[in-house]
Amino acid sequence: MENLDGVNKGKIIQATGVVVDVYFSYMIPPIGRKLIIEDSGLLLEVVEYLKNSTVRCLALGETHSVKRGSIVIDTKEKVRIPLGKDVIGRVLNIFCEPLDDKPPYETEEYREIERSAPSFSAIDSDLKIFETGVKTIDFFAPFPEGGKIGFFGGAGVGKSVIITELIHNIVYSHQGVSVFLGVGERTREGYELVEELKSKDLLKTSVLIFGQMNETPGIRSRVALTGLTIAEYIRDVLKKDVLLFVDNVFRYAQAGSEISTILGRMPSDTGYQPTLSQDIGLIEERIVSTPDGAITSAQAVYVPADDFSDPSVQTILNHLDSSVVLSRELSEKKIYPAIDPLKSTSVILNPVYIDQEHFDCVQSARKVLERYNELKNIIAILGIEELSPQDRVTVERAKKIQKFFSQPFFTSEAYTGIKGVFVPLNDTVTGVRSIINGELDDVPEDYFYMIGSINEAKERWQKEKKN
């Protein structure tokens, strides 16, 4: 149907969950087109063509009020969001509507949320280290500026805590703009993050976009696209470096799987949507640096049942420059951050990009830790007394390295009562080298727990000896 003023209108003929079928008698809108239900204002996005001039749409909101026979208006545009320089410092939903009880910001332009990645020639591919102040990350899996780093782990091992700490450390030290995407996570966690950023006076340089666990899969799958569009606007128009934090990329893949199931598509052998690689690539390939600025991304990735062979986890891993794996075993030992140094790595862990001393120190530390892992079964069965003197020394040094890589965080001060620390990379390298070289063999391993630089362990030990 079409009214006199040229507006293309359709009629709802079926609604199942978040999937709405709309019949158009005049002109069928193309895939990706935004539609509006006239009586409720609910937005729909065209995702499939059906027979008999009907399109299948995905509802971008709750569908409780959707009725058969309701009129649907074709907006003749794709899903767009309003953007302006005042977007910085705001908490928003996927349509850039305020969630922080403040009035809407001034709009300077509109952008479609589904955009192509920059061409290969437009990407700035220089690799250099981006210090985070977190010892394990900077040492074993250095973060490339303008790159993508993923934090992999099951439930309760500390992914969100590390992301929050990185927001604190990086914004303080690099003076960039942080964009946080809450994709399918708990509403409580989103609220706590906002309050944490307010208390640290970091909200004014951040943009937070939420599509949380209580939202429909349509919203959860589109929040990443909205956040990326905002990050690209800050990079391209405001000419600022952007720090993009995503919690959680797995939930984005999961939302796509839910939508695929609702649409009746045949799943792949592993149960995920057949377009899994395409869906992940749609967001990951847009996270790049250009001559205008860099988008540097840190992403939490939930690992279902601690199974790293899960197809979604492997697909995400293929797009990353650095991967940080969190260990449940270390978490149970109360070593936080519970990062497994033997499974974590980075593309810039190479003498071409980092200092030779740093590279050599990483290789030495890994040899010590690998030898310790080999000896664990012998120690468990026969006891440490059955080891050779050399292996005993290796075990003691490995335990000290393990404890040294625990670190008090700024964002957990209220829970631990220990003041957080930002540790420069040079201090970390010096500390590890001192342990490996045997300079601290007389210091008990407990003195290395929850410290910043190695000097703290020395000072604690000297103070204890005097007493």
Q: According to the model, what pLDDT value does residue 1 have?
A: 53
Q: Coil, strand, or helix at residue 83?
A: strand
Q: Are 223 and 211 in contact (CB under 8 A)?
A: yes
Distance between CA atoms of 35 and 10, rounded to whole angstroms? 9
Encoded tokens for 361? 């120190």
For residue 49, the domain's CATH number is 2.40.10.170
Residue 4 within a domain: no
Residue 2 within a domain: no
State how far the alpha carbon of 443 is from the alpha carbons of 106, 154, 226, 438, in Å.
60, 34, 52, 10
Q: Are residues 225 and 179 in the same domain?
A: yes
Residue 42 has, within 13 A of its CA and on its CB side, a CA count of: 26
Active site residues: 159, 185-186
Q: Is the pLDDT of residue 212 over 70?
A: yes
Strand 33-37 vs strand 177-183: parallel, antiparallel, or unpaired? unpaired
Q: What is the pLDDT of residues 101-151, one digit of tens each?
A: 899 999 999 999 998 888 877 787 777 888 899 999 999 999 888 889 999
pLDDT band at 3 (very low <50, low <70, confident <90, very high): low
Over residues 43-55, the mean pLDDT reads 93
Alpha-helix runs per DSSP H in 247-291: 249-262, 276-284
Nearest Cα to Cα of residue 403 among 462, 445, 456, 361: 445
Q: Are 81 and 64 in contact (CB under 8 A)?
A: no
Q: According to the model, what pLDDT value does residue 226 have?
A: 95
Distance between CA atoms of 379 and 174, rounded to whole angstroms? 45
Distance between CA atoms of 364 and 360, rounded to whole angstroms? 6
Q: Are 150 and 317 in contact (CB under 8 A)?
A: yes
**Residue 257 per-residue DSSP state:** H
pLDDT band at 196 (very low <50, low <70, confident <90, very high): confident
Residue 93 within a domain: yes
Residue 3 within a domain: no
Cα dihedral value 56, 62, 64, 66, nearest 10: -40
Q: According to the model, what pLDDT value does residue 294 have?
A: 86
Q: Are residues 35 and 68 in the same domain?
A: yes
Q: Are residues 65 and 92 in the same domain?
A: no
**Among residues 346, 370, 389, which one ends one of the domains?**
346
Q: What kind and span of H or E run contains 242?
A: strand 242-247
Q: Is the pLDDT of residue 4 over 50?
A: no
Q: Are residues 273 and 397 in the same domain?
A: no
Q: According to the model, what pLDDT value does residue 190 have?
A: 87
Q: Are residues 441 and 321 in the same domain?
A: no
Residue 144 within a domain: yes
Instruction: Report the predicted TM-score, pTM, of the whole model to 2 decimal places.
Output: 0.90
Number of Cβ within a 10 Å radius of residue 257: 22
Encoded tokens for 451? 């410290």
**Among residues 77, 107, 129, which one ends one of the domains?**
77
What angle (nearest 5°) sits at the alpha carbon of residue 91, between those of residues 87 and 92? Answer: 80
Distance between CA atoms of 185 and 188, rounded to whole angstroms? 9
Residue range of the domain that includes 41: 9-77
Q: Are residues 410 and 462 in the same domain?
A: yes
Q: Are 173 and 133 in contact (CB under 8 A)?
A: yes
Q: Is the pLDDT of residue 5 over 70?
A: no
Q: Is the pLDDT of residue 173 over 80?
A: no
Q: Is the pLDDT of residue 98 over 70?
A: yes
Encoded tokens for 212? 């949380």
Number of domains, the chain: 3
For residue 387, the domain's CATH number is 1.10.1140.10
Number of Cβ within a 10 Å radius of residue 200: 15
Q: Are residues 387 and 306 in the same domain?
A: no
| Buried-state track 64-87, b at ≥16 Cβ within 10 A, e below 16 | eebeeebebbbbeebbbbbbbeeb
For residue 245, the domain's CATH number is 3.40.50.300
**Residue 401 per-residue DSSP state:** H
Q: Are residues 365 and 328 in the same domain?
A: no
Q: Are residues 268 and 376 in the same domain?
A: no
Q: What is the pLDDT of residues 279-329, one digit of tens each?
A: 999 999 999 888 888 898 999 999 998 888 999 999 999 999 999 999 999
Q: What is the pLDDT of residues 372-399, one digit of tens each?
A: 999 988 888 888 888 899 999 999 999 9
State how far the alpha carbon of 158 is from the alpha carbons of 181, 423, 446, in Å.
17, 19, 22
Over residues 359-375, the mean pLDDT reads 95
SS3 content of the chain, % helix, strand, coil (to 5): 40, 20, 40
**Among residues 300, 320, 346, which one ends one of the domains?**
346
Q: Are residues 73 and 148 in the same domain?
A: no
Encoded tokens for 7? 């507006």
Nearest Cα to Cα of residue 114 among 30, 244, 227: 227
Percent of the chain with pLDDT over 70: 98
Over residues 228-237, the mean pLDDT reads 94
Q: Are 60 and 94 in contact (CB under 8 A)?
A: yes
Over residues 182-191, the mean pLDDT reads 87
Q: Are 263 and 48 in contact (CB under 8 A)?
A: yes
Report cis status (omega within 30 of 0) of the bond before 267: no
Q: Are residues 137 and 24 in the same domain?
A: no
Residue 362 within a domain: yes
Residue 351 within a domain: no
Q: Are residues 369 and 436 in the same domain?
A: yes
Q: According to the model, what pLDDT value does residue 156 have?
A: 84
State how far the alpha carbon of 8 is from the alpha carbons of 30, 41, 44, in Å.
12, 16, 15
Report the chain's mean pLDDT, rounded to a whole number. 90
Residue 161 within a domain: yes
